[in-house]
Amino acid sequence: MNYLIYVSQAKKPVAEAALAELLNYSRQRNEEAGITGLLIYRYVPEADRGNFMQILEGDPASLSAVWDRISQDSRHHSIVVLEEAETAGRMFATWTMGFQNVSAEDLADYEGYSDLGSDAFWSRIKKQTTAGALGLLQSFYDPS
């Protein structure tokens, strides 16, 4: 089992209806491919910018195919892979694609991510990978 975590910027802020449509489509495709994970979205009003952070997990071949599709998706840019690794088992086993629409307050306790989507975040993240992405994403997981 492998996983991949990335961040990206939406080409334009994403409305709730468009997020719901994206999630429905992703959940169906992920179920077919045996992929699980979590997507978080944060809108930064002062920059009028939407930002994504996502973890995907699955067997290496399926994960690679899904990642190829996601990395070519024209709805986002500035894609930065934060972490890729092998894991003993699924961390988001019950979610074909979990979702959280987060605010600055939701991220306040996560050093390096409390300003997700800000200009300072993007300047910092493009220079080096920030540790802690996995822990942040796992904090939103509720297997029930």
Instruction: Please answer whether residues 28 and 34 qualify as being in contact, where contact means their C-beta atoms are separated by less than 8 angstroms.
Output: no
Instruction: Please answer whether residues 49 and 21 qualify as being in contact, where contact means their C-beta atoms are separated by less than 8 angstroms.
Output: no
Give which of 47, 30, 39 is closest to 123, Cα–Cα.
47
Q: Report pLDDT digits (tens) over 28-40.
A: 999 999 999 999 9
Confidence of residue 42 (pLDDT cuts 50, 70, 90): very high
Q: Is residue 143 part of a domain?
A: no
Output the domain CATH number for residue 55.
3.30.70.100
Q: Is residue 69 part of a domain?
A: yes
| pLDDT tops 80 at residue 17 | yes
Quote the mean pLDDT of the chain. Answer: 89
Q: Report pLDDT digits (tens) over 88-127.
A: 999 999 999 999 999 989 998 888 888 889 888 888 887 6
Q: Is residue 142 part of a domain?
A: no
pTM for the model: 0.89
Q: Which helix (H) or strand (E) holds 52?
A: strand 49-58
| pLDDT tops 60 at residue 129 | no
Q: Is residue 109 part of a domain?
A: yes
- Its domain, for residue 27, covers 2-137
**Count of structural domains within the chain:** 1
Q: In this structure, how many other beta carbons lie within 10 angstroms of the beta carbon of residue 40?
A: 22
Q: Is residue 144 part of a domain?
A: no
